[in-house]
Amino acid sequence: MSDITAPSTELASLAAEFDAADELAALRARFVLDDAVYLDGNSLGALPASVPGRLADVVHREWGEMRIRSWDESGWWTAPERIGDRIAPLVGAAPGQIVVGDSTSVNVFKAVVAAVRMADEGSGSGDGRRDEILVDATTFPTDGYLAESAARMTGRTLRPVTPAEVPAALGDRTAAVLLNHVDYRSGRLHDLPALTAAVHEAGAYAVWDLCHSAGALPVDLDEHGVDLAVGCTYKYLNGGPGSPAYLYVRRDLQPRFDSPLPGWTSHAAPFAMDPAYQPAAGAPRGRVGTPDILSMLALEAALDVWGGGGDGGSAGAGVTIESVRAKSLALTDFFLRCVSAYVPEGRVESITPVAHAERGSQIALRCDDAGDVMKRLIHQGVIGDFRHPDVLRFGFTPLYVTFADTERAARVLGETLGEMG
């Protein structure tokens, strides 16, 4: 980083030009926002303006007046698959392959155990058994905990490796590989197409965690032959705190998907109350228990900001995931430019890759006293977050973050660090 070389008026004017040319600018009005610069959408997305009214209707009319009839008449029962089909275009999946429900953690467990069980079908027992699970060593801790539990449950060995080490670590012992598309701490985007191909070449199954990519950049699950994927909906999909996660099972694998959590709503005849379990066909076999209707329908309303869905990469009328990605890269490029101009030399170091092909939708800056710095930024209306021990994390949600927000965040950061010495 260098000393401040560009006056704020120059970069502020440039931000205004970028905002005037932004084809997504009108989407900001679809969210409930204030004067703060909100750069923490990679932890909790902003509230879409359509959600409060929809929830009020669900509570007062569907629950309050219709009561039990709403399972059928209001479509509560089919919500997990219906909303899954709304998410599908955002991750490059055809309809019928995503079911919404449970948490990301629960879905990670389902997916990893199911992947190992599918690997068992082709390997038999004895020396030819695929007895190892690879997990991203840099993953969010919960993924590691769940992978370790899945390994114990299935009698496998868990082997943590970095994504870069995966190709060399793969072999005929590998049953499944659990990877993150975007690293939660650094914002590094991993090569999903190449890593998935390498996993398949080794005869194993790929499970991807999309929490920090879905809704911010193209994923193209179908195109790249991903086996299983999971993701949350409260970050770039703006579903609200604790909103239900989703599970993707590639269509040709659905008949073989053997969930370790067979619940009554994933039964082929759920209301028959048969003591013997018979899994439903298709994506519904990823369900477990009764859907969390209030959170689920809040998520459905939140997805209205994208439009009505669409084919391929379309995220809805006038909004494509490609245009969202283009703005994300422009915002993060501009933020790095502003940081370079405003922040005193040597005070921060970006740990997010510069290359677009390796960058998610956040910028992570290593900084001394990062926890205290972030508290000061938040007090001044620039909201990011802190990751132990020394990382300032700024998430850019292209649907509502502006270039003016971006310039202001970098300027306040520079001023704050200058005052702290």
* Residues with catalytic roles: 140, 209, 234-235, 393
HSE of 104, CA atoms in CB hemisphere, 13 A: 24
The residue written with tokens 């990062």 in the block is 370
**Backbone CA torsion sign across 299, 305, 308, 309:** negative
The closest alpha carbon to 203, from 124, 141, 126, 286, belongs to 124
C-alpha 297/C-alpha 106 separation (Å) is: 20
Q: What is the bridge-based pairing of β-strands 391-395 and 362-367? A: antiparallel
| 41, amino acid identity | G
The answer to whether the beta carbons of residues 79 and 220 sit under 8 Å apart is: no
Cis peptide leading into 284, omega within 30 of 0?
A: no
The answer to whether the beta carbons of residues 193 and 94 sit under 8 Å apart is: no
The answer to whether the beta carbons of residues 86 and 233 sit under 8 Å apart is: no
What stretch of H or E contains 412?
A: helix 403-420
Q: Which residues neighbour 356 within 8 Å (Cβ) at sequence distance 6 or greater? A: 329
- DSSP label at 226? -
